[in-house]
Structure 1
Amino acid sequence: MISPQIRWSLDDFFLSAQVDENGVLSTPLSIELENEGFLPFTVTGLSAEVPGLRLLPAGDTPDEPDAVTVNGGDLQVWTRRVVITDCAAVPREPQPVRFTYTTWMGPGSSEVIWKSGQLTVDGRSVPIAWQRGLAGKVCNDAMSPDLF
């Protein structure tokens, strides 16, 4: 099977703490899918087993479709919602996410570890896992008095 040439990345610019009427802490997750090949592919699923985080199923709304097609040489942003169930339980080591997709040759899957960010501590740069950075920002924002 020939895999599509995809650049997967996480756009953390739009991360924001959202607390619903039941006290559930979540954030929209913007995922950039860039097709570096010539033929289209459709991403049909996203899953991850990360302690302290839970990816919600797609809502199949215009903002959150259950699948997204990316034409050759194109870039699409796919939005999914992630719930932070336990801020302290989110691991410090980068965790993989699994995408499922279809191409003209049939279905496939890819496991990806998103690029980690950097934190400056005592003048030196320290890597911080993507999921730890996400949870840290959202959990800290949730403690902001401006949210309530």
Structure 2
Amino acid sequence: MSAVDVLLAGVGPGGALSSGLTGELENEGWAAFTLTGVSADVPGLRLIPEDELTVEGGKTRTFSGRVVVTDCAAVPREPRSIRFTYRTWLWSGSVEVIPDSWRLPGTSGEPVPVAWQRGVAVEMCNRAVSSDWS
């Protein structure tokens, strides 16, 4: 997996803090695999994958899903991984990836690196309470 992006959307239907999640999956092997799940053990945040996706050997595909912030204050500050589960014709397995840090403005104006999930929560929660985003 080469990259994960969160497309910030803000408050969705029913007041849920929800955004799009996309990423690139690269199959460096010769056998196709099917992405069967995307999850993260992150308090205050939930990942909702879209349908299963098959990536042929030697190919790259884009996956998508949703990120829902359920409790702004509960999202941890230390980096957490995203788990991708997959199956092939021969076996099933999983791999965990920690996305790159986000950079948010610090008090001195310089960008400060923060864990990806904390950056998502800060941006989404700030948008939810700001009149600029309504």
- Settle same-fold status: TM greater than 0.5: yes
Aligned residue pairs total: 133
**Following TM superposition, by how much is the alpha carbon of 1:147 offset from its aligned partner in structure 2, in angstroms?**
4.3
Runs of 4 or more, structure 1, over 4 Å off, are none
Stretch deviating more after TM superposition (71-80 or 122-131): 122-131
The answer on whether the counterparts of 1:8 and 1:114 sit within 8 Å (CA) in structure 2 is no
Matching of residues 38-77 of structure 1 within 5 Å: 38-56=30-48, 58=49, 64-65=50-51, 67-77=52-62
TM-score (norm 1): 0.76
CA distance, structure 2, for counterparts of residue 107 and residue 50 of structure 1: 23
Residues 1:129 and 2:115 aligned together: yes
**Following TM superposition, by how much is the alpha carbon of 1:84 offset from its aligned partner in structure 2, in angstroms?**
0.6
TM-score (norm 2): 0.83
1:22-68 residue CA offsets vs partner (Å, 9 max, x unmatched): x2221121122122333321110112111111223x4xxxxx32x11
**Following TM superposition, by how much is the alpha carbon of 1:144 offset from its aligned partner in structure 2, in angstroms?**
3.4
CA distance, structure 1, for counterparts of residue 111 and residue 36 of structure 2: 36
Structure-2 residue corresponding to 1:9: 3
Measured on the aligned residues, the alpha-carbon RMSD in Å equals: 2.2
Q: Secondary structure at the match of 1:36?
A: coil
> Can you give the 5+ residue segments of structure 1 that lack an aligned partner in the other structure?
1-6, 59-63
1:67-114 residue CA offsets vs partner (Å, 9 max, x unmatched): 111123322222212211111221110011211101232111112211
The answer on whether the counterparts of 2:103 and 2:119 sit within 8 Å (CA) in structure 1 is no
Stretch deviating more after TM superposition (33-42 or 127-136): 33-42
| Identity level (%) | 52
Q: Secondary structure at the match of 2:20?
A: strand
Matching of residues 84-103 of structure 1 within 5 Å: 84-103=69-88
Residues 1:105 and 2:97 aligned together: no
